[in-house]
Amino acid sequence: MRLAKINRDTKGYFFILPYFLAFLLFQLYPIISTFFLSFQTPINMFENEFAGLANYERLFSTKLFYQSIWNTWYMWTMNFIPQIGFALYLGVILTDYGIRGKETFRTLFFLPNLVTAASIGVLFAVLLDWRFGTLNMVLGRLNIVSEPINWLTIPLLAQGTVSFIQWWQWFGYTTIIIMAGLSAVDYELYEAAYIDGASRSQVFRWVTVPLIRPTLTYVMITSLIGGMQIFDIPRVLTNGRGAPDNALTTMVLYLYNQAFANFNVGYAAAIAYVLFFIILVLSVLSFKFLQRERKPKRLGGAQ
C-alpha cells in the first residue's frame, strides 16, 4: 500500500518533467553559458580564451554602444507615449459609451499584432523605397514632390518610421488589455464620484486611472521589455546596417551584428548581459513609480 501511495503521489512529477528539461536545456544552460562567454575573447572561429573584463571595458568605451542605447530608448518612447494615450482614449470610448460593435473594433485594432514584425518591416520597406516605393509614386502623381525622396536616409524620419510601425502594431493589443482593466472597475464608484460633484475628467484622473494602475503597470513593463529588445523592423528596413548614420542601430541589432557578422561572441555576450541589467533596472523603477502610494483627493466642489 505504501509503495502504491508513493507511486500515485509522484506521478505528477512526470507531467512537469518535460518543462523542466526544456527549461534547463534551452534557458538556464544558455544563460549560464552566455555569462561565462562574456569573459572570453575569440582566438579563431572555433576557440575562445579567457579575457577577464576586457569585453565590458571595450563595451563601455564604445560610442556606438551608447548610441544604440539612445536609439532604442528614443524609438520606444516615441512609440509608447502615443500608444498608451491612444489605447486609454479608445478603451474609455469603447467601454463607457456603449458603442455598438465594439467586439468588431477590438478585432480590427488587434489585427496588426497578428502579423510578424519582419513581414511588416518588408511592407514598409516597399512602401518607402525611394525608387519604386508606393509613397513616392503617390506623392509624384499628386505633384507634391518633383523627384523621389529617399526616406530612410533621414535619421529622424527613419526613427519615426520605426516608432510608428511599433505603435501601429501594438496599440490594439494595449487597447484590449486596458479595456479589460476598465471592465473590472465597479460602476458604483463612478456613480458615487458623479454624485459628489466630480466632472468626467476628474473621475478619469482620480477614479479610473488609480483603479487600473496594475493594468497600466503591466502594460508599461511588458512594453518596456519588448521595446528594449526591438530588432526585426530595423534589421529589415536597413538590411542589418542600422543606417542612416547608425540611427536605427538598436541594442539587439548591435548585439546581433557583433555575434553573427563580426563573430565576436564574447563581446556580444557582454552586450546581452548589460542589456539584461538595463531592462531589469528600468522595469524595477517603472514598477516602483507606477505603484507608489498617492494621497486621496476630494473630488468636485464638495468640502
Amino acid identity, residue 109?
A: F
Given a cut of 50, whether residue 302 has pLDDT beyond it is: no
Torsion of CA 234, 240, 244, 245, to 10 degrees: 110
- Chain segment 188-221, per-residue pLDDT in tens: 888 888 888 888 888 888 888 889 999 999 999 9
Over residues 56-78, mean pLDDT = 95
Instruction: Give residue 8's pLDDT.
Output: 66
pLDDT over 70 percentage in the chain: 93
Answer yes or no: are the C-beta atoms of 125 and 158 closer than 8 Å: no
- Under the banding of pLDDT at 50, 70 and 90, the label for residue 297 is low
Instruction: Give residue 42's pLDDT.
Output: 82
Over residues 52-63, mean pLDDT = 93
Answer yes or no: are the C-beta atoms of 178 and 219 closer than 8 Å: yes
| Mean per-residue pLDDT over the chain, rounded | 87
Residue with the larger pLDDT of the pair 59 and 133: 59
Given a cut of 70, whether residue 170 has pLDDT beyond it is: yes
List, as one string, the DSSP characters of 167-207: HHHHHHHHHHHHHHHHHTS-HHHHHHHHHTT--HHHHIIII
Q: Is the bond preceding residue 18 a cis peptide, omega within 30 degrees?
A: no
* pTM of structure: 0.86
Compute CA 32 distance to the chain's CA centroid, rounded to the nearest angstrom: 25
Given a cut of 90, whether residue 35 has pLDDT beyond it is: yes
Q: Which of 90, 72, 77, 99 is closest to 174 using CA atoms? A: 90
Given a cut of 60, whether residue 5 has pLDDT beyond it is: no
Instruction: Give residue 303's pLDDT.
Output: 39
Task: Give the list of residues 6+ apart from residue 18 with CB closer than 8 angstroms, or none.
Answer: none
| Helix-helix angle 155-183:63-96, to 10 degrees | 40
> Where do the structural domains in the chain lie, given as residue ranges?
64-290
Cα–Cα distance for residue pair 100/5, rounded to 1 Å: 57
Pick the CATH number of 64-290 from 3.40.30.10, 3.40.50.720, 1.10.3720.10, 3.40.50.300: 1.10.3720.10
Instruction: Give residue 161's pLDDT.
Output: 92
